[in-house]
Structure 1
Amino acid sequence: MRMSQNKSQFVAVASIAAELSAVMEVAKEISLAAANAKAIAFRAGEKAKGFQPITDFINELAKETIELVNNINEHALKLYRLTVKEHRMSEACKRFEEVAAGACSAPYASSLSVPLQKAMQRRADCHRQFSRHVSELVAQLADVMHPARAARVIAANSRIEASQAGEYLQSLQAVAESVDNAAQIIHDKVHKCRSALSMINSVD
């Protein structure tokens, strides 16, 4: 059971790292879209006057998402390290138990109980820390959803403002679409991270 749990933790943590990497790339794309939108709005002048402040909002959302993902990555790295440590402690416990079983009639067999108890305690401590970081990660993933939802709203407003930009309509609408698509991707990736975390909890 413990080996299965460790394996599930390794798989889940690897999955989360991959999804977070994708979210980071999308956030960078949003930042680039904001820069492109700002340049287009500047060229359009009065025709895109309402679009200009939107570019600042888009850029702020990108920065907020990148910052949140960086913080989440730190927790994901801690989860990986704790998973490795817990796996090693599980292996140590298994070997101590095997040696203790084989030496049950030996004169000093009782001396194995202390190191075995210590190894089991360290394994339990690792798992408690892991569970705490999982809870913190769940909360942080919820935080990432806020800028993603805001991006959907901004994309809708961007389409409205773009419709008044004359010959710049198509270019600004493309920016709105890219922000909307990015928000959807972030939503999907965060959902996958949550699914990976629930996989850990189901084995817990």
Structure 2
Amino acid sequence: MNTPVNQHKSQFVAVASIAAELSAVMEVAKEISLAAANAKAIAFRAGEKAKGFQPITDFINELAKETIELVNDINEHALKLYRLTVKEHRMSEACLRFEKVAVNAAGAPYAESLRHSLQQARQRREDCRRQFGRHVSELLAQLADVMHPARAARVIAANSRIEASQAGEYLQSLQAVAESVDHAAQIIHDKVHKCRSALSIINTDD
């Protein structure tokens, strides 16, 4: 069981780690979108030789957009987690101060008046913890959603290789696009996995 100080430190580190990983996911998603635009231009130049590749570029672009939208939503939850961690830390500090004052004031006149303030601080701290847990659960669900376009991108990359093989002199250019999409999808998968691991650490520390 972690002390409150260590627990909050762990939460701060985890939330900061998630923010960094999400930033990387966003950059990769933008790269996928750029790759889709480049592929579309190549497929247009290739004409009939890359006819089957042209609709794939639209799918790639849609996946990139979907990922960017999901990450934007996730970033909002990550920001809420950070704010709740700060708030809970402050409430915990307030509880400790009230408890020390209550101990020192034991038997003194009006000592009972401290009880209400201490109960309020404890209640607010518990409210923060409940909200934090709820946001963690929602964030885990959203991270699972990001995995879907990543998996779809890998399937599309495989189909892209097949279609690129029939593109004649444009083969290497379109193969490069397929490889970049596949690589980007793997990076997104890894980054999201790290985010989920960081959240698991928070849950373990609770």
Query: TM-score, structure 2 length as denominator?
Result: 0.98
Counterpart residue identity of residue 190, structure 1: V
Cα distance in 2 for residues equivalent to 1:2 and 1:98: 16
* Match among 20, 23, 43 for residue 21 of structure 1: 23
Aligned residue among 49, 59, 62 for 2:61: 59
1:132 to 134, 144, 148: 134
- 2:111 equivalent to 1:113: no
Partner AA of 2:57 in structure 1: T
Q: Deviations over 1:147-167 (max 9, x none)?
A: 000000000000001111011
2:43 is aligned, of 32, 38, 41, to 41
SS at structure 2 position matched to 1:109? coil
CA shift digits 1:22-60 (9 cap, x unpaired): 000000000000000000000000110000000000000
State how far apart, in whole Å, the 2-side matches of 1:148 and 1:4 are. Answer: 34
The 5 Å alignment of 1:1-204 reads: 1-204=3-206
How far apart, CA to CA, are the structure 1 residues paired with 2:124 and 2:36? Answer: 48
Describe the superposition over 1:60-118 as per-residue Cα deviations: whole angstroms up to 9, x where unpaired: 00000000000100100110010000000001001111111111121111111100000
| Mapped partners of 2:168, 2:31: distance in 1 | 25
Return the alpha-carbon distance in structure 2 between the equivalents of residues 105 and 59 of structure 1: 70
Aligned equivalents of 1:69, 1:151: Cα separation in 2: 16
The secondary structure found in structure 1 opposite 2:13 is helix
Structure 1 residue matching 2:181: 3-state secondary structure: helix
Report the residue type matching 2:53 in the other structure: F
| CA distance in structure 1 between the aligned counterparts of 2:32 and 2:91, rounded to whole angstroms | 43
Distance in 1, Cα, partners of 2:122 & 2:204: 22
CA distance in 2, matches of 1:167, 1:157: 18
Distance 2:148 2:178 in 1: 18
- Aligned partner of residue 107 in structure 1, secondary structure: coil
Q: What is the rounded CA distance, in whole Å, between the counterparts of 2:35 and 2:98 in structure 1? A: 57
Provide the C-alpha distance between the structure 2 equivalents of 1:105 and 1:37, rounded to a whole number of angstroms: 78
RMSD: 0.6
Q: Distance in 2 between matches of 1:58 and 1:32?
A: 10
Scaled by the length of structure 1, what TM-score is found?
A: 0.99
Letter in structure 1 aligned against 2:166: Q
